[in-house]
Amino acid sequence: MNLSQISSLTEDQAREYFEKIRWPNGRTCPHCGSVESTKLQGKAHRVGLYKCSGCDDQFTATIKTILEDSHLPIRTWLMAFSILCSAKKGVSALQLQRQLGLGSYRSAWHLAHRIRHAMTREPLKGLLGAGGGIVEADEMFVGGKPRKPAGRHVPGTHRGSKPRTKTPVVGLVERGGRVRARVIPDVTALTLKAAVRAHVDPSARLMTDENRAYIGLGSEFAGGHETVNHAAGEYARGDTTTNTVEGFFGLFKRGVMGSFHHISEKHMDRYLNEFSFRWDLRAVTDGERTVEAIKASEGKRLMYRMPVGN
């Protein structure tokens, strides 16, 4: 379903749609896995409440998903999933608040972060470039001002007022496939090489720009390591380019500037997850991508208190 179809649902229909996505093979007790249960009906019971014949416990479809403990209607959740799964450049909490008619900015912000959490695909399944594929690696700095070496005075700043710093991010993109993007503490050879080793299959062909930090990785990958020299105005040589990973970075940066303006470093990975999720599922429809995100909400209940503020 697309957004307009979801927004035309009643709350009962939205719950039925959510149940169908959560239980494609029929209702299953989230406590014990039993497929035998009965619907609890009548005024004494919440709608959508079931009683398990296996463990005798009661359950609803939202138990053990990120929707558990939420006071928002399921329809609102589904709309939010649809909006975040369709927006190429992301959606600000303010936009979400307006579009969903939510009472507060805060609840829109929390809703968006819960959905970003559902979009997180951890643990990562498989390395990039397995089977001899091409993987492009690059790094970028997002937001704020460039980092200054510690202990040096930064002009225009006062003691105690920390200047906004740019956040370094490493990106690894499988040509024609998936992306991994993460905040990293620095862009030293040690950090960048560790990121490549952690995410790229040894059978892959690695491609980077001329950054010396990547030098020496060639012998660790069966396909070798090729570089393009951006400083010399070279952007492609044969099929050697880093245009794909730069395309992902460009999309993310436009999203940050257009929708979020500033993302603090502590939240950056969540937004990278959101953009990676849409990138990895770019070949399917908005509706199918929405279903995938809703499915991923299972078992992703937030076990910690969400941070406040942005």
Binding residues for Zn ion, per CB under 5 A? Answer: 29, 31-32, 34, 52, 54-55
CB nearer Zn ion, residue 27 or residue 289: 27
> Residue 67 CB, nearest distance to Zn ion (Å)?
19
> Residue 299 CB, nearest distance to Zn ion (Å)?
16
> Residue 69 CB, nearest distance to Zn ion (Å)?
20
> Residue 171 CB, nearest distance to Zn ion (Å)?
43
CB nearer Zn ion, residue 32 or residue 215: 32
> Residue 52 CB, nearest distance to Zn ion (Å)?
3
CB nearer Zn ion, residue 29 or residue 135: 29
| 106 membership: H or E segment, kind and range | helix 105-119
Q: E strands along the chain, which residues? A: 37-39, 50-52, 58-59, 134-142, 167-174, 179-183, 205-209, 225-228, 236-237, 240-241
CB nearer Zn ion, residue 37 or residue 227: 37
Q: Considering Cα of 255, then 256, then 260, then 261, what sign does the dihedral take?
A: negative
CB nearer Zn ion, residue 52 or residue 66: 52
Contact of 97 with 25, CB cutoff 8 Å? no
Separation of alpha carbons 152 and 147, rounded Å: 11
Separation of alpha carbons 293 and 82, rounded Å: 9
Distance between alpha carbon 267 and the CA centroid of its chain, in Å? 11
